[in-house]
């Protein structure tokens, strides 16, 4: 067990280093930074009190979109590249098992996603802090250095929106969702070597995961649902994660109260699904002829 954990840790660290060196990831990060940086111009606009909501929508959309691309390209490029360059043969010739290789690769990609989400969130929070200071300074200037009762209430609302701790919940949901996309991409990379095929299949599963809740409501909403639809939708729900549940972050961004007791089961579900899928990936890779 100790040797396995050490092997997984070394492979994860190496995967993280390789992923950091991928130039395409830098392009995606720069794109996300531009999206987040663009939110600073909101301080010069009038959104009739929805400034912070607009900033949060833009920031979380940017983190989700670019994070999805990072997850896809990270898993689809790194693992097949090991087989294509035959570096995996050198690695597996040592006392390293295939399941250690898969687990290490996945954890390295999770570390990359964690760094990405943390970095983007830090920049986003700085943008919120700057916007809150700008609005507060504007109210002070309008009041001649003193705040009226109405202005004091407005400043309190600014600070509550800028420093809302519930935003951590939204980030946790986005991070968990990206980790699920990554483990699905890792699963496909264990059976195929084509990057286009891996990315396409993962996006297909991602789309189904978002639509299965709508499908259940449509096909099971009638008084009498056909038994084969029930079996089919049950199989889909079992095999494909319900990504729609992670959109609880939209409620948080909208300012609605969402308790951690509601978020925790979703995060636990993501953890269990990732563990099961990673186990299946390791089993599939064990039987693959390299």
Q: What is the pLDDT of residue 85?
A: 72
DSSP SS3 for 265: helix
Q: What is the pLDDT of residue 181?
A: 92
Determine the average pLDDT of the residues in 79-85.
73
Radius of gyration in angstroms for the set of CA atoms belonging to the chain, rounded to a whole number? 22
In this structure, of 21-35, 68-82, 172-186, the range with the lowest mean pLDDT score is: 21-35
SS3 of 17-73 = HHHHHCHHHHHHHHHHHHHHHHHHHHHHCCCCCCHHHHHHHHHHHHHHHHHHHHHHH
Alpha-carbon span 123 to 59, nearest angstrom: 10
pLDDT tens figures, 109-135? 999 899 888 888 888 888 777 777 777
Q: Give residue-wise pLDDT tens across range 138-190.
A: 767 776 667 667 667 777 777 777 777 888 888 899 999 999 999 999 998 88
Task: Give me the pLDDT at residue 180, please.
Answer: 92
Q: Please report the pLDDT score of residue 219 as a whole number.
A: 57
Q: Cα separation of 210 and 219, whole Å?
A: 16
Report the chain's mean pLDDT, rounded to a whole number: 78
pLDDT band at 42 (very low <50, low <70, confident <90, very high): low
Long-range CB pairs of 142-151 (<8 Å, 24+ gap) are: none
Q: What residue has token string 């949060």?
A: 56
Stronger pLDDT, 136 or 116, i.e. the higher one = 116
Q: How confident is the model at residue 222 (pLDDT cuts 50, 70, 90)?
A: low
Cα–Cα dist 184/20, whole Å: 21
Of 50-59, 146-155, 203-212, least confident by mean pLDDT is 146-155
**% of residues, the chain, pLDDT over 90:** 11
């Amino acid at each position: 067990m100790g040797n396995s954990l050490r092997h997984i840790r070394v492979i994860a660290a190496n995967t993280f280093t390789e992923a950091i060196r991928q130039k395409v990831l830098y392009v995606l990060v720069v794109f996300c930074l531009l999206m987040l940086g663009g939110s600073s111009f909101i301080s010069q606009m009038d959104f009739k009190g929805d400034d912070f909501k607009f900033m949060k929508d833009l920031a979380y959309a940017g983190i989700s979109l670019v994070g999805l691309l990072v997850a896809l390209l990270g898993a689809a490029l790194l693992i097949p590249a090991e087989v294509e360059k035959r570096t995996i043969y050198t690695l597996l010739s040592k006392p390293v098992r295939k399941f250690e290789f898969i687990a290490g690769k996945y954890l390295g990609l999770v570390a990359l996603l964690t760094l990405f989400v943390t970095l983007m969130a830090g920049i986003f929070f700085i943008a919120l802090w700057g916007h809150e200071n700008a609005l507060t300074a504007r109210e002070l200037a309008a009041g001649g250095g003193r705040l009226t009762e109405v202005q004091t209430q407005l400043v309190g609302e600014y600070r509550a929106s800028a420093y809302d701790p519930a935003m951590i919940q939204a980030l946790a949901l986005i991070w968990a969702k990206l980790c699920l996309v990554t483990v699905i991409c890792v699963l496909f990379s264990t059976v195929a070597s084509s990057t286009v095929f891996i990315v396409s299949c993962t996006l297909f599963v991602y789309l189904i995961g978002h639509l299965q809740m709508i499908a259940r409501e449509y096909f099971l909403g009638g008084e009498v649902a056909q038994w084969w639809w029930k079996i089919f939708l049950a199989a889909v729900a079992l095999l494909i994660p319900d990504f729609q549940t992670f959109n609880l972050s939209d409620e948080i961004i909208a300012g609605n109260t969402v308790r951690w007791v509601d978020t925790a089961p979703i995060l636990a579900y993501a953890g269990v699904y990732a563990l099961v899928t990673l186990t299946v990936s390791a089993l599939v890779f064990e039987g693959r002829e390299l």
